[in-house]
Amino acid sequence: MPGYKAPIEDTLFLLRDVLGYERLGNLAGFAEAPLDVVEAILGEAAKLAEEVFQPLNRIGDLEGCTRHQDGRVTTPKGFKPAYDAFRQGGWIGLSAPAAYGGQGLPMTLTSVLGEYLSAANLALSMYPGLTQGAIAAILAHGSDEQKSTFLPKMIAGEWSGTMNLTEPQCGTDLGLIKTRAAPNEDGSYAITGTKIFISSGEHDLTENIIHLVLARIEGAPQGTKGISLFIVPKRRVKEDGSLGEPNGVSCGSIEHKMGIHGNATCVMNYDGAIGFLVGEANRGLNAMFVMMNEARLAVGVQGLAQSEAAYQNAAAYAKERLQGRALSGPKQPTKPADPIIVHPDIRRLLMSMRAFNEGARALVLWTAMKADVSHRSDNDADRRAALDHLGLMTPIVKGVLTDTGFENTVKAQQVFGGHGYIAEWGMEQFVRDARIAMLYEGANGIQAMDLVGRKLGKDGGRAALAFFNEVTSFIKESGADESLAGFVKPVERALGHLQQATMWFMQNALARPDHAGAGATDYMHMFGLVALAYMWARIVKAAQTKLTAGDDGETARMEGKIATARFFMQRMLPETGAQLARITSGADSVMALAAEAF
Amino acid sequence: MPGYKAPIEDTLFLLRDVLGYERLGNLAGFAEAPLDVVEAILGEAAKLAEEVFQPLNRIGDLEGCTRHQDGRVTTPKGFKPAYDAFRQGGWIGLSAPAAYGGQGLPMTLTSVLGEYLSAANLALSMYPGLTQGAIAAILAHGSDEQKSTFLPKMIAGEWSGTMNLTEPQCGTDLGLIKTRAAPNEDGSYAITGTKIFISSGEHDLTENIIHLVLARIEGAPQGTKGISLFIVPKRRVKEDGSLGEPNGVSCGSIEHKMGIHGNATCVMNYDGAIGFLVGEANRGLNAMFVMMNEARLAVGVQGLAQSEAAYQNAAAYAKERLQGRALSGPKQPTKPADPIIVHPDIRRLLMSMRAFNEGARALVLWTAMKADVSHRSDNDADRRAALDHLGLMTPIVKGVLTDTGFENTVKAQQVFGGHGYIAEWGMEQFVRDARIAMLYEGANGIQAMDLVGRKLGKDGGRAALAFFNEVTSFIKESGADESLAGFVKPVERALGHLQQATMWFMQNALARPDHAGAGATDYMHMFGLVALAYMWARIVKAAQTKLTAGDDGETARMEGKIATARFFMQRMLPETGAQLARITSGADSVMALAAEAF
């Protein structure tokens, strides 16, 4: 049975020594969460992940969710008490405003919580995860009445939330939405239509479910400009806040999926359900984007989380499984064979997972801290710069961390040899579960187009230029430090590739947008590699500082960081050269064949 | 529901126009199978794959195999009649000697058959697939009596075969085998032990199952030099060839696996079962290698096959699913959206699968033809060269085609967006089924070590040098042909990378074998890319010839070949640069951490 241990030490090292968490002490919520408090909070989060969520991971996979004839859905055995423990701990509102019962702590902590919980049990973590997205949308666009009606219950975890976008005929292209909203006399709307792929759409964990639904008000313009966002509670809410009658919404069926069996992915039928407009009419996509951006970062974290959990189990197996002898001579001559961790090809697999995980964790925390700055700073320039960073990094975190996270679950499975294919070992579940993250909240090709087609050129390329400048400054500052040379030079070379690719798009994609489309995925991954490389260079700098300071207890771990950084630079970063070649080959060979030839 | 159409046209084009099948007309079996006969045979094989095997693919996945309390195993509904149709068609003995009831046709045809059947239904195809491996081992190492007792029934498909290598404590490291063989007075042995992961180990498709079992004769030397190979029939065979009593072998359980649910992967318990030594005592690994090499090529073909089947369904979906508009302007303005095949990122996915599949098919056929030459030529030098090629290419075909084949099933699933995650669409089954091929018959890291540690240096590097020389000659011959320049130059560059990497191993790995281990997987993939690039260059040459000849009916298809080759050269081959950088960075960063640090 697989295990999981939350990487608290690494999280704290990154926050404290690499990313300067304490420099944000003047922001709201940060004063209440200095690093010693963070450590205590993460300790509790780790317990919940390791002791409550993780033991249910395989049960959830085996048992799945059950839809009863009356439309009720039962979650796997143990999910309800685990959810209750989570809810009662006040975790859902960790970063939510105190005005609605939240704790107002940094969103950065919610992001760490997300990593630990989704590593331990992705399917279970998705129930409160969707609620957090729904809270964010209501906070940003709901009326005061909507906020006071729904937020306290949602933040307390008594009610949960969902996002309802997809329909059978439309996923990516939301302009094709058919679900319709007919105005009622009291200002509410009657919502009618079918939504598919609704995660946590129906379940037995909470007494009410607050669906956020995209629909088209009768007579609205065609396409994406005629879409509005509605709150549709599963059960109506009386004036006194207590629960009323069922609303006209029900789960028609549960999807049979490759993985995340413990989460109920529902077909939701709306049959004149009463809904309340959120924000302005026909501006629903705008409102939904708040949820989507938050959700996309959270999904990127899921990619990292599954990779970390899979890695931990692969590393443990590699140290135990005896098979063959080291090429450099027996390492455990008294045993019938050496543990397979002596084999360079096994090391290669483990190191590539590790180098990704630790770099990606830094990238996530860096971006989460920017999210806090964007919400909580009173300095306009800081907020703007943080928002720029957030917009730029959201598709990269989502696309790169889920693609590579999935690949890593496959690598971890490979370490187990044939046993990796056997369900009882739990490694194939990581592969099946991690696979969803490349697809939902915008398939990764959409992330790549969001980056290349929208984020890159926005405001004259301000966000990308700011990133390039920051990395360039780091390179200049660190250039004189010889102990960093082996790390700074590869970053400089990779950044050069990224800038060349960016320039190539600027010169070619305007005349032929297909050039951007054909290179988008490679560009997204190249950007991700450069961002990870920058994180690793900063990690090395911090590690060198600690080593120089001579903190003996940390020596081995800091030397490990430096060794892992070297692996990243030598073995993972060179990919940018091939990516550049592909990008600058353009769309010709990609688009040459007629559609009928396929 | 997914479909499948056997790519007969492509197979024939490769055999006829690219690989010179007809030049082998003087070999045994080839005279009976000129290309028009091949076409007719493949037409029948395609029917079987498309109409009999493929419709059972999802049923097999859903239903799986059932073990009854008495140890009997029932295969999924429909498997037995499908197997009977296959058996009655004489397909198992397509390439087996006429002396034992086979048809004696080229093994190349069996390889094509393997592609079509394992694309249509991998789990079902594995039952006769394992039989073919067992036939090969008995043919190569069995006594005349063993041959006449077992081969006719196996070739007729009335009895099936298995390979029993793995035990709980050993997979890769067969020196750890514990299953023991005690001599009986009549010259037979009593076999006792437990084998795991035995594909097709027990089932209801045949009246007898001929297990080939590795075991240790009492008193044999330790390690791999004390292992012998035995025939252990499920039911004893009487002197007159009829079935006798059950032997002491039974299925203890069926594994719960990620995929290939329709194939019974068994724990097999041997309890004093009567076994017959195959070949010499303590030379069992040697005998088993015949089976393994054959099986490894067949597994490589499975990787291609799953990739092809997944690709076909992704291409069909991409032409039907309407979502978004082309970046270059609407392509179907009267419809609510364009088909997603207009999007460059979707094209990129489709083209990369296609460029792999068609190149890999050429590589497989080229290698299969060498296998025929190695068995059937009466020219010593030709046989030796063919055997060299076969030994060199076996780990590459197995490792690269299954790694990339799996990746392609993931890409094909991605084309479906969220629907790719839903079981009913069938795309996630391709991913789960294809995954096994990277693990069984030697996990792919073992293939890489076989290539780098054994095949590369064998006989002074004769096999690799012959390959390098052949590609170099092709480059020289074609250099003057301007229409080939865009294809020959990339091959030349990639071959240069491969030769540099080879040289690097020669200079560094002797002093430190870990340098070879750390670069082995990259080297295997690099070698694969160069081999595929060489295939593509030859395909382009053949296509140009046909275009010049002006066969109008073929124009579009030949232009498609050239366009796909260009995609391969521009978008897939550049990876060799990154691979070279990783290989020549050596083992230092891979092995730097202490095992305890993981």
Q: In this predicted model, what pLDDT tens digit does every residue of B306-326 receive, in sequence order?
A: 999 999 999 999 999 999 999
pLDDT for res A479: 85
pLDDT at A553 over 90: no
Q: Minimal CA–CA distance to A541: which of A584, A590, A480?
A: A480
How many other CB atoms are there within 10 angstroms of residue A81's CB atom? 11
Res B8 pLDDT > 90: yes
The helix, strand and coil proportions of chain B, stated in percent and rounded to the nearest 5, come to 65, 10, 25
Pairwise CB contact (< 8 Å): B598 & A315:
yes
Mean pLDDT for the stretch of residues A500-510? 96
Q: Give CA separation, A288 vs A178, A275, A296, B124, in Å.
A: 17, 15, 12, 47
* Angle between helix A458-479 and helix A380-415 axes, rounded to 10 deg: 70
Look at B574 and A592 and tell me if their CB atoms are within 8 Å.
Answer: no
Instruction: Check whether A322 has a pLDDT greater than 80.
Output: yes
Q: Do residues B76 and B57 touch, judged by C-beta distance below 8 A? A: no
Nearest-angstrom CA–CA distance, A256 and B308: 24
Q: Is B87 exposed, middle or buried (0-12, 13-18, 19+ CB in 10 A)?
A: buried
Bridge partners (DSSP) of residue A437 are none
**Measured between alpha carbons, how far apart are the two ends of chain B, in Å?**
44
What's the pLDDT at B293? 80
Residue A2 has pLDDT above 90, yes or no: no
pLDDT band at A111 (very low <50, low <70, confident <90, very high): very high
Q: Which of B330, B441, B353 is nearest to B404 (CA)?
A: B353
Residue-level pLDDT at A550: 87
* pLDDT, tens only, B181-239: 999 999 999 999 999 999 999 999 999 999 999 999 999 999 999 999 999 999 999 99
Q: Is A104 on the interface with B (CB under 8 A)?
A: no
Residues of A in contact with B593 (CB under 8 A): 347, 351, 560, 563-564
B contacts of A339 (beta carbons < 8 Å): 595
- Per-residue pLDDT for B291 more than 80? no
Residue pair B217/B230 in contact by the 8 Å Cβ criterion: no
Helix or strand or coil: residue B255? coil
Whether the CB-CB separation of A478 and A537 falls below 8 Å is answered with yes
**Distance (Å) from the alpha carbon of B144 to chain A's nearest alpha carbon:** 35
Q: How far is CA B367 from the centre of its chain?
A: 11
Cβ partners under 8 Å of residue B46, min gap 6: B5, B6, B8, B116
Predicted pLDDT at A287: 84
Q: Where are the beta strands (DSSP E) in A120-224?
A: 159-164, 180-183, 189-199, 208-217
DSSP B52: I
Residue A52 near residue A86, CB atoms below 8 Å = yes
- Say if the Cβ atoms of B345 and A439 lie within 8 Å: no
For residue A477, pLDDT beyond 90:
yes
State phi, psi for A228 to the nearest 5 degrees. Answer: -125, 160
Instruction: Assign A26 to helix, strand or coil.
Output: coil
Q: Tens digits of per-residue pLDDT, A113-161?
A: 999 999 999 999 999 999 999 999 999 999 999 999 999 999 999 999 9
Burial (CB count within 10 angstroms: exposed 0-12, middle 13-18, buried 19+), residue A143: middle
Minimal CA–CA distance to A412: which of B598, B481, B188? B598
Residues B281, B218 contacting (CB under 8 angstroms): no
Amino acid found at A308: E
- Is some CB atom of chain A closer than 8 A to the CB atom of B160? no
Q: What is the rounded CA–CA span in Å between residue B5 and residue A526?
A: 37
> What percent of chain B stands above pLDDT 90?
95
Average of per-residue pLDDT across A207-224: 96
Give the chain A residue nearest B420 (alpha carbons). A439
Contact between A421 and B435 (Cβ < 8 Å): yes
Catalytic pick among B441, B492, B554, B596: B441
Q: What integer pLDDT is reported at residue A331 of this predicted model? A: 95
Q: Is B308 a catalytic residue?
A: no
Burial of A438 (0-12, 13-18, 19+ CB in 10 A): buried
* Whole-number Å distance between alpha carbons of A263 and A71: 16
- Contact (CB<8Å) B327/A448: no
Q: What's the pLDDT at A293?
A: 80
pLDDT at B551 over 90: no
- Please answer yes or no on whether B439 and A420 come within 8 Å at the CB atom: yes
Q: Which tokens in the block code for residue A377?
A: 């700073």
Amino acid at B457: G
Set of chain B residues whose Cβ sits within 8 Å of the Cβ of A424: 256
**Portion 169-208 of A in contact with B at CB < 8 A:** 169-173, 175-176, 196-197
For residues B544 and B484, the answer to whether their CB atoms sit within 8 Å is yes
Query: Residue range A245-259: average pLDDT?
Result: 97
CA B151 – CA B159 distance, rounded (Å) = 9
Question: What pLDDT is attached to residue B292?
Answer: 81
Q: 3-class SS at A113?
A: helix
Measured between CB atoms, does B216 come within 8 Å of chain A? Answer: no
- State yes or no: pLDDT of A229 exceeds 90: yes
State yes or no: pLDDT of A290 exceeds 80. no
What SS3 class is residue B213? strand
Q: Give the model's pLDDT for residue B12.
A: 98
Query: Lowest-pLDDT range, A95-99, A509-513, B267-271, B292-296?
Result: B292-296
* Cα–Cα dist B252/A99, whole Å: 62
Please tell me the predicted confidence (pLDDT) of residue B288.
83
Chain B contact present for A168, CB below 8 A: no
Confidence of residue B64 (pLDDT cuts 50, 70, 90): very high
Identify whether the C-beta of residue B417 lies closer than 8 Å to the C-beta of residue B340: no
What is the radius of gyration, based on Cα positions, of chain B? 24
Q: What angle do CA A504, A508, A511 make, to 5 degrees?
A: 165
Residue owning tokens 């033991």: A55
Q: What is the β-pairing status of strands A208-217 and A159-164?
A: parallel
Q: What mean pLDDT comes out for the span B573-577?
A: 98
Report the C-alpha gap between B193 and B197 in whole angstroms: 14
Show the tokens assigned to B518.
């750390």
Dihedral Cα B529, B532, B533, B538, nearest 10 deg: 170
The average pLDDT across B562-577 equals 98
CA angle B83, B86, B92 (to 5 degrees): 110
B319 vs A contacts (CB less than 8 Å): 595, 598
Q: How confident is the model at residue A238 (pLDDT cuts 50, 70, 90)?
A: very high
Residue A240: pLDDT above 90? yes
A551 pLDDT exceeds 80? no
Cβ neighbourhood burial of A206 (10 Å; 0-12, 13-18, 19+): buried
Are residues B272 and B248 in contact, defined by beta-carbon separation less than 8 angstroms? Answer: yes
Model pLDDT for residues B232-280, shown as the tens digit of each residue: 999 999 999 999 999 999 999 999 999 999 999 999 999 999 999 999 9
Nearest by CB to residue A443, choosing from B257, B354, B417, is B417
Integer CA distances (angstroms), A58 to A3, A46, A49, A261, B313, in order: 11, 18, 14, 10, 31
First-to-last alpha carbon distance for chain A, in angstroms, is: 44
Residues of A involved in catalysis: 441
Q: What integer pLDDT is reported at residue A201 of this predicted model?
A: 98
Model pLDDT for residues B45-62, shown as the tens digit of each residue: 999 999 999 999 999 999
* Average pLDDT for B534-555: 93
A257–B593 C-beta distance less than 8 A: no
CB atoms within 10 A of CB A370: 24
- β-bridge partners, A249: A270
